[in-house]
A and B are shown apart, each in its own frame.
Chain A
Amino acid sequence: MNKVPNNRAWWLVLPVFILVAFSALIPLMTVVNYSVQDIFGPGQGYWVGTEWFKEILGNERLQDSLLRQFAFSGAVLAIQIPLGISVALMMPKSGIKASLCLILLAIPLLIPWNVVGTIWQIFGRGDIGLFGWGLNSLGVDYNYTGDTVDAWLTVLLMDVWHWTPLVALLCYSGLRAIPEAFYQAAEIDRASRWAVFRYIQLPRLKSVLVIAVLLRFMDSFMIYTEPFVLTGGGPGSSTTFLSQTLTTMAIGQFDIGRAAAFSLIYFLVVLLVSWLFFTAITHLDKEK
């Protein structure tokens, strides 16, 4: 069997390739170029080699920020993926109730990031916000502007509120695509509810879960606007995530060379983690 595949269809990818070249590849090359120079202005760059990288790798503020970012993304995935799946499992299968659920779920997704931040900023306040006021009157000492744990929980809660619906909607569409015959067969075998979930629904959800995990990881890893509006990165720097540190460096201090080196390290981390997720999930099947 010596079949030679016909690869001519690759030419159809060319327009997308050109588009991506201008939207991603060339800007990325620019970043690489900036990362080895000290840029003072247009046409005024000085070659510094790997100095920025060395400095970034040894910078404690950035290391803290990176650790914080991993903790946040980990928490986001650990909460949102199981929660999203359970919401999808509990949703009605058809009829007006299903439509109603879908609309309700989609509402948080339609709200712009900065508005989400503002909503939660007011919602969590002790004096005029329902959430903050309610907790305080229940006797809970809650103050997201002063307490690190409270600030973290609020940012996390906000993200869960904003993005769990995405996971739920993806899983819901995955669940709806399972043919009824699978469930009938399971019923004949007297499979338990857990067995149905474990051996029918979960394997069938795998492809949408890959997308959900990747999307949620990338989005939470790049989170900027919501914590910026809600806490401004505080108290102290306890909710300052990577992109906020990066923005402060690049735009606030106009430290383009250092920011470029930092972006590249950031990019490599995202690339590695995304690749690991993707490979792990797509290869689970093949191994069996």
Chain B
Amino acid sequence: MIAWMNWTPTVAIFFAVIAGILMVMTVYEIVSPCTERKGFLPIATTRGDRLFIGLLSAAYIHLAFLAVSDITLWVALAVSVAWLAVLLRWG
């Protein structure tokens, strides 16, 4: 029925992962509610803030890789995941 929209599996996986992250974070928040705290970022953040910052910077990391190099984007993905982990833990 929506074949004309040309949905591709890769994009479906991309959004499924984001939806998954949001769901996991929701469950995590219910299990152990977080409080705002100050890490190495200049502002006090909650867990959700740090996730948002991480995802947004992940997008920019990918764009930067595309703009200045021909390295495969899996490297950019690895860098982004590592950065997100650092941000969530110490941000």
Report A's interface with B, CB cutoff 8 A.
4-5, 7, 29-30, 32-34, 36-37, 39, 42-45, 47, 50, 53-54, 57-58, 265, 268, 271-272, 275, 279, 283, 286
A57 to B44, CA, bound (A): 33
Number of interface residues of B (CB under 8 A): 22
Quick check: A4 and B60 within 8 Å, CB to CB? Answer: no
B28 within 8 A of partner (CB):
no
Is B85 an interface position by the 8 A CB rule? no
Pairwise interchain contact A279-B10, C-beta atoms closer than 8 A:
no
A-B interface, 4 closest residue pairs, ranked by CB to CB distance from nearest? A42-B4, A45-B6, A57-B67, A33-B11
Residue of chain A at shortest CB distance from B52 = A275
* Bound Cα distance from A4 to B66, whole angstroms: 45
In angstroms, how far is the closest chain B Cβ from the Cβ of A168?
Answer: 31
Contacts of A45 in B (CB 8 A): 6, 8
Picked from A30, A54, A272, A286, the residue with its CB within 8 Å of the CB of B44 is A286
User: Could you say which of B7, B14, B33 contacts A5, with CB atoms under 8 Å apart?
Assistant: B33
Cβ contact within 8 Å between B73 and A50: yes
Q: Is the CB–CB distance between A36 and B60 below 8 Å?
A: no
| Chain B residues with CB below 8 A from A44, complex form | 6
Q: Which residues of B contact A43 (CB under 8 A)?
A: 3-4, 6
Q: Whose C-beta in chain B lies nearest to the C-beta of A275?
A: B56
In the bound assembly, the distance between CA atoms of A272 and B30 in angstroms comes to 28
Q: Point out the residues of chain A lying under 8 angstroms from B60, CB to CB.
A: 268, 272
On whether the beta carbons of B63 and A39 are closer than 8 Å, the reply is no
B59 contacts chain A at the CB level, 8 A cutoff: yes
B43, chain A: closest CB distance, angstroms? 5
A238 to B19, CA, bound (A): 42
With A279-B43, A286-B44 in contact, is A32–B14 under 8 Å at CB? yes
With CB as the reference atom, state the residue of chain B lying closest to A272: B56
Q: Is B90 interfacial (CB-CB < 8 Å)?
A: no
Complex Cα distance, B63 from A265, in Å, reads 9
Task: Assess the B63–A268 pair: CB atoms within 8 A.
Answer: yes
| Listed A/B pairs (6) with beta-carbon separation below 8 Å | A33-B5, A50-B66, A54-B66, A265-B63, A268-B63, A279-B43
